């Protein structure tokens, strides 16, 4: 692999969700990531995570090597210690205390390898009243406050599919934390523990709402605010063909263009930032967009300063001309997946290789 993290070696203790996503991000950027899988799953068509018909995992496990180990075996723990001795960072996602009981906690590993960055991925964090409780993405973003903001006013909160918590607030924050700690270790000569809790990361993603609340511009009710679908100029709308589009005409000049394109001359629409008229104006805009199919609105609005985009499925997104031109998605082994991001002008990243079979690199690495 090539990329800005080429030369970095990371050991990933096998898990699901945010840990593998963090490892994928680092691998996508050129790091050599070695995943430690359960020896009991070697040769099986199932185990930690989803598998393709070929027996390979996909997307979250792409681009790295795999060795199969039994962490309850003293001999295998010794092999793991030897692997870690040559690594820059590790990723683990067990409940607090598990790695310590296995003899692989930070005290042991940092004593052997003082420059090691020890990345820990949990839902609730390494400490606190809920540290030992089970949970999943929806629970973490609920406790962080993020989930309360997502959904329609006439229904309950709607959970996004493990993106805000596990991936954004969890794996991405851990990847950022690991790189920060690695940069610091260059000057200090010392590694450290990175405690990445999904609740903390999801809370961090609410920063813009905290800002708006401080300015008196955000209510706790869903769809009552500027950026949550409360206004008529920042929302999604259904078209005559049942497909949906998005509008975000926030700035005055973009809003004027929206009214022009939609043929709206009603003077009430001049009260753009008055929440009192938003429900009435939204009903009119809803009727307008429902009068024509999505193809009509794409032809009229896409590429203009109205701030418009169709709401696409993943398959549709992959074939949209803009995403096609940038190579935003690619397909490997019949699996559609996003390309590495962000992009670099000099240390260009390769297209990630496939996910490994469990234990595929035992002979090479053990």
Residue 21 burial (CB count, 10 A): 23
Catalytic pick among 41, 70, 76, 136? 136
Residue 361 known to be catalytic? no
Catalytic pick among 28, 88, 137, 166? 166
Identify the three-state secondary structure at position 291: coil
The Cα–Cα gap between 32 and 11 comes to 9
Q: What is the DSSP letter of 277?
A: G
Q: Which residue has the tokens 């042991």?
A: 108
First to last CA, the chain: 21
The Cα–Cα gap between 50 and 52 comes to 7
Contact yes or no for 67/34 (Cβ under 8 A): yes
In angstroms, what CA-CA distances link 358 with 86, 174, 333, 355?
Answer: 21, 24, 17, 9
Phi-psi map region of 127: left, alpha, beta (phi>0 left; psi -120 to 50 alpha): beta
Q: Which residues does the annotation mark as catalytic? A: 136, 166
């Amino acid at each position: 692999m090539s990329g800005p993290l080429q030369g970095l070696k990371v050991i990933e203790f096998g898990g699901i969700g945010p840990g593998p996503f963090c490892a994928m991000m680092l691998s996508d950027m050129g790091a050599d990531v070695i995943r430690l899988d359960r020896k009991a799953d070697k040769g099986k068509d199932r185990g930690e995570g989803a598998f393709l018909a070929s027996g390979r995992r996909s997307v979250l496990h792409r681009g790295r090597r795999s060795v199969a180990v039994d962490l309850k075996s003293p001999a295998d723990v010794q092999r793991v210690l030897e692997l870690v001795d040559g690594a820059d960072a590790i990723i683990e996602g067990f409940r607090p205390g598990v790695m310590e009981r296995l003899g692989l906690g930070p005290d042991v590993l940092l004593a052997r390898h003082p420059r090691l960055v020890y990345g820990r991925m949990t839902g609730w964090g390494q400490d606190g009243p809920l540290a030992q409780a089970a949970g999943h993405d929806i629970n973490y973003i609920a406790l962080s406050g993020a989930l309360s903001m997502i959904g329609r006013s006439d229904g309950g909160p709607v959970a996004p599919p493990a993106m805000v918590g596990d991936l954004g607030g969890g794996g991405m924050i851990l990847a950022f934390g690991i790189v920060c700690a690695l940069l610091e270790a260059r000057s200090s000569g010392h590694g450290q523990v990175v405690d990445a809790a999904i609740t903390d990361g999801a809370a961090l993603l609410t920063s813009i709402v905290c800002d708006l609340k401080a300015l008196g511009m955000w209510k706790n009710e869903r769809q009552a605010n500027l950026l949550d679908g409360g206004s008529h100029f920042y929302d999604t709308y259904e078209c005559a063909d049942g497909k949906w589009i998005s509008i975000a005409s926030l700035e005055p000049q973009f809003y004027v263009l929206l009214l022009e394109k939609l043929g709206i001359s009603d003077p009430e629409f001049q009260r753009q930032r008055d929440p009192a008229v938003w429900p009435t104006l939204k009903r009119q805009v809803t009727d307008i967009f429902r009068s024509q199919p999505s193809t009509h609105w794409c032809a009229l609005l896409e590429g203009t300063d109205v701030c418009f985009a169709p709401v696409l499925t993943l398959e549709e997104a992959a074939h949209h001309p803009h995403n096609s031109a940038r190579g935003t998605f690619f397909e490997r082994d019949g699996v559609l997946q996003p390309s590495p991001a962000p992009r670099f002008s000099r240390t260009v990243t390769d297209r990630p290789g496939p996910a490994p079979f469990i234990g595929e690199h035992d002979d090479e690495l053990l």
